Chain A
């Protein structure tokens, strides 16, 4: 599974919260068994990728920031070469940064 596919799936799960496969299937129209395979690393079809990206864009106003996704994924890969604590800290600072950006936009 490519970096973009992984990031798309990760964002989808992050934004929708923990749900059952059936609930995800209802939300997206993607079959339950396909979702199971995707979550276990199977390659995404282009149509599935488009469905998830559109869902994110419509539901959470999450524009498709391709450059940002690739950059984050490369940062994650680089972070894999440092300690676990550092990776956790890095991830937390990114999330905090997103909160601060969202709150500035909303203010």
Chain B
């Protein structure tokens, strides 16, 4: 079976996208406990995703063709999104953390559907403007502190059909 990137591996990879980091810094960026982080780093080095030199962990850009396809694999990303969403649902139902989730089932007339599409695009623009602002005025962005948003819409029928096809 083709290997997919686990979320604990993904958070390490994302923490090293912009530059190499020492172990302590990676602990701060990922929030992973020391021994788990070391296990992940060890594995990623074995797989050739990372290099380790003079105390610094870096993405193995020289051999990116060997690991980048695994990192960008669509099947992997699909299952990661499901895991993250499932975790959000668990947080809500266990009343943990500061998570928020709204699920609505609502009949929309065509012009109301257009209105919803416009408002969802506004969220896109808002997030894009933040990204642009960061390129001008960077701030320290801890990977673990990033807000994970899910937003999307589908007809009930399509969702049910999708579930039936997947079974």
Q: A residues bordering B, Cβ < 8 Å?
A: 14-18, 83, 85, 87-89, 91-92, 95-96, 99-100, 102-104, 106-107
Known: A15-B46, A99-B39; 11 extra A-B contacts, CB below 8 A, are A16-B46, A17-B46, A18-B48, A83-B166, A83-B167, A87-B1, A95-B6, A99-B40, A103-B38, A104-B35, A107-B35
Among the listed A15, A17, A92, A104, which residue makes an inter-chain contact with B79, where contact means beta carbons less than 8 Å apart? A92
Q: B residues bordering A, Cβ < 8 Å?
A: 1, 3-4, 6, 8, 33-36, 38-40, 43, 46-48, 66-67, 75, 79, 83, 166-167
Give the distance in Å from the alpha carbon of A100 to the alpha carbon of B6 in the complex: 13
Give the distance in Å from the alpha carbon of A99 to the alpha carbon of B35 in the complex: 10
Give how many A-B residue pairs fall within 8 Å (CB-CB): 50
For B35, the chain A residues whose CB sits under 8 A away are 102-104, 106-107
Task: Say whether B39 contacts A102, CB under 8 Å.
Answer: yes
Nearest-Cβ distance from residue B1 to partner chain A, whole angstroms: 6
Chief secondary structure at chain A's binding surface: helix
Among the listed A17, A91, A103, A104, which residue makes an inter-chain contact with B1, where contact means beta carbons less than 8 Å apart? A91
Asked, given contacts A18-B66, A92-B79, whether A100 binds B166 with beta carbons under 8 Å apart, the answer is no
Give the distance in Å from the alpha carbon of A105 to the alpha carbon of B79 in the complex: 28
Task: Say whether A103 contacts B75, CB under 8 Å.
Answer: no
Asked, given contacts A96-B8, A99-B39, A102-B39, whether A89 binds B48 with beta carbons under 8 Å apart, the answer is no
Task: Say whether A88 contacts B75, CB under 8 Å.
Answer: yes
Give the distance in Å from the alpha carbon of A16 to the alpha carbon of B6 in the complex: 18
Among the listed A18, A87, A92, A103, which residue makes an inter-chain contact with B6, where contact means beta carbons less than 8 Å apart? A92
Which residue on A lies nearest to B38, using beta carbons? A106
5 contacts between A and B (CB under 8 A): A14-B3, A83-B166, A92-B4, A99-B39, A107-B33
